Amino acid sequence: MACSCSAPEHKSPAPGFRKALWIALWVNLAMFVVEGVASLSSGSVSLMADAIDFFGDSANYILSLTVLSMGMLWRGRAAMVKGITMTAFGLVVWARAVWVVQAGITPEPLTMGAVGLLALAANVSVAAMLFKFREGDSDMRSVWLCSRNDAISNIAVMVAALGVFGTGTAWPDLIVAAIMGTLAITAGISVMRHARSDIAQARASEAQPVATTASGSR
């Protein structure tokens, strides 16, 4: 017998959210390829971190599209997965920054700045498109936070490029990478907290009709 794990009171996604997710998905996949190649050619940790973030966001958008028509419980679970991956991403960036300090690699600033500007234009467009969905459920909020953090990260990458150009050292790149990692960790924790609340609310709604039925049968 098939059973549903979603809350009985299904909440439909906001109008236009699905289309916005598809657009965001393709923009992020394209920028992952561009920044991935650029990070390898420039040796920039912050650019590499941003490329990985684009890839992670793409995976998260696919996850959101998968559960978009499901109940609040499944959407809360999807948001929990995204919160965990965002936090893990931040930890990986920190680890990479420590490794580069030990290796003594200095990135190429011109590539960093040019690609960072392109990524900023892409992310600002996506963030503006998703802005009206920022106060939705935990899944919608996680999508908005990803886009917001990406735009902030792109500005930081360009600042790092200027710093590397001016100082001739890798420290501006490493500092920005550390900030990006911290942003990912704090945003991930925020999404996980919101997801826990949504999951608890969905389970409570699911249990309420059962309790009402049991009471009525006495």
pLDDT mean across residues, the chain: 78
Instruction: Give the model's pLDDT for residue 161.
Output: 93
Q: In the structure encoding, which two tokens stand for residue 9, read together?
A: 């009171």
DSSP string, 127-181: HHHHGGGTTS-HHHHHHHHHHHHHHHHHHHHHHHHHHHHHHSSSHHHHHHHHHHH
- In this predicted structure, the answer to whether residue 55 has a pLDDT above a threshold of 90 is no
Q: Determine the distance from the C-alpha atom of residue 180 to the mean position of all C-alpha atoms in its chain, rounded to a whole number.
A: 12
| pLDDT at 2 > cutoff 80 | no
CA gap 175, 7 in Å, rounded: 44
- Min mean pLDDT across 117-126, 132-141, 196-205 is at 132-141
Q: Is the pLDDT of residue 1 over 50?
A: no
pTM of the model: 0.65
Cα–Cα dist 122/150, whole Å = 10
Question: Which residue type occupies 166?
Answer: G
Distant-in-sequence contacts of 159-164, Cβ < 8 A, 24+ apart: 160/44, 160/46, 160/112, 161/44, 161/109, 161/110, 161/112, 161/113, 161/116, 162/109, 162/113, 164/44, 164/106, 164/107, 164/109, 164/112
CB atoms near residue 186 (< 10 Å) = 15
Which pLDDT score, from 0 to 100, does residue 14 have? 61
Identify the pLDDT of residue 140: 67
pLDDT digits (tens, 9 = 90+) for 18-39: 888 888 889 999 998 999 899 8
Give the dihedral sign, CA 17/88/182/151.
negative
42 or 118, which is more confident: 118
pLDDT in tens, 182-192: 877 887 888 78
pLDDT digits (tens, 9 = 90+) for 94-134: 888 888 888 887 888 999 999 999 999 998 888 788 777 76
